[in-house]
Amino acid sequence: MLSLPGAMLTKVKSSAAHLGRAEKAVEDEVEQGPGSSLDNSALLWTSVFCNSRNIDAIREDINTPLVEVYDAVLTESGERESVDDDVRHAESGETKSLIQRFMHDCDTSDVVSPQADTVEDYSFRASLDMLKAESWTGQELPRNAWLGEGGDGWFRPCAEWLTAYDLYKALRKPRFKYGKASETLAAEAACADTNSENHGRVGATTSTTPPPSLPNNPGSETSPQEAADIERRFVFVSDLDAWNIQALAGTAPEHQADALRDAFFKHLGFKSSIEATVSEKGWPIFQLSLHLPYYAWRCTSHPLDDHRRNRNNKPLRQRRDVSLLQPEGKHAYLYEAQISCVVSAIDEWKWVAYGFVDSYFDDENGENSRTYDQDTLNGIHTGPFEYGITEADKPPAKARDFFCKVLRIRLKQISQEWEEVLRNLEKSFSGYYSSHENRRKKPTAQNSADEEAIGKYGKELQDALDWVGRTSSILSELLAMLQKTHTAWRTFKREHLDIFQDRASASRACQLSAIEATFARLEAISQDIESMDKRRRGIQKEVSDASQSENTSNCQVRG
3-class secondary-structure state, position 26? helix
Is position 427 within any domain? yes
C-alpha gyration radius of the chain:
28
Cα gap 172→236, rounded to integer Å: 16
Is position 264 within any domain? no
Cα gap 14→22, rounded to integer Å: 12
Cα gap 458→546, rounded to integer Å: 9
Is position 520 within any domain? yes
Q: Are strands 232-238 and 351-357 parallel, antiparallel or unpaired?
A: parallel
What is the total count of domains within the chain?
Answer: 2
Residues 6+ apart with CB under 8 A from 321: 303, 331, 332, 333
Residue 443: burial class (beta carbons within 10 Å; 0-12, 13-18, 19+) = middle
CB atoms within 10 A of CB 115: 19
Q: Which of 121, 150, 175 is the last residue of a domain?
A: 121
Cα gap 515→411, rounded to integer Å: 7
Is position 23 within any domain? yes
Q: In angstroms, how far is CA 215 from the centroid of its own chain?
A: 38
Cα gap 262→123, rounded to integer Å: 15
Is position 105 within any domain? yes
Q: Indicate the DSSP class of residue 162.
A: B
Residues 6+ apart with CB under 8 A from 115: 103, 108, 261, 264, 265
Distance between start and end Cα atoms, the chain:
75
Q: Which of 95, 121, 147 is the last residue of a domain?
A: 121
Is position 281 within any domain? no
Cα gap 540→546, rounded to integer Å: 10
- Report in angstroms the alpha-carbon separations of 134 from 2, 129, 131, 145, 247: 30, 10, 8, 20, 15
| Closest-CA residue to 352 (of 270, 286, 265) | 286
Q: Which residue(s) pair with 535 in the sheet?
A: none
Q: Which of 57, 90, 121 is the last residue of a domain?
A: 121
Cα gap 500→366, rounded to integer Å: 32
Cα gap 126→88, rounded to integer Å: 11
The answer to whether 274 and 491 have CB atoms below 8 angstroms apart is: yes
Cα gap 304→18, rounded to integer Å: 50
Q: Indicate the DSSP class of residue 499.
A: G
Cα gap 502→51, rounded to integer Å: 14
Name the residue range of residue 432's domain.
Answer: 288-366+398-558
The answer to whether 333 and 325 have CB atoms below 8 angstroms apart is: no
| Closest-CA residue to 47 (of 540, 499, 521, 552) | 499
Is position 109 within any domain? yes
The answer to whether 359 and 367 have CB atoms below 8 angstroms apart is: yes
Q: What is the pLDDT along the chain (559 residues), one digit of tens a residue?
A: 334 444 444 444 444 444 444 445 545 554 443 333 444 555 667 678 888 888 888 888 889 999 888 878 777 766 555 444 454 444 444 467 889 889 987 666 665 588 999 999 999 999 999 999 999 999 999 999 999 999 988 999 988 899 999 999 999 999 998 654 444 444 444 443 333 334 334 333 334 433 333 333 333 344 555 668 999 999 999 999 999 999 999 999 999 999 999 999 999 999 999 999 988 677 889 999 999 999 999 998 899 999 999 999 999 999 999 998 887 778 999 999 999 999 999 999 999 999 999 999 997 777 888 888 877 777 777 889 999 887 777 899 999 999 999 999 999 999 999 999 999 999 888 877 766 555 555 555 544 455 555 556 667 777 777 888 889 999 999 999 999 999 999 999 999 998 888 766 788 889 999 999 999 999 999 999 999 999 888 888 877 776 666 555 555 445 5
Residue 65: burial class (beta carbons within 10 Å; 0-12, 13-18, 19+) = buried
- Report in angstroms the alpha-carbon separations of 94 from 76, 86, 91, 101, 111: 19, 9, 8, 13, 14
Is position 167 within any domain? no
The answer to whether 146 and 162 have CB atoms below 8 angstroms apart is: yes
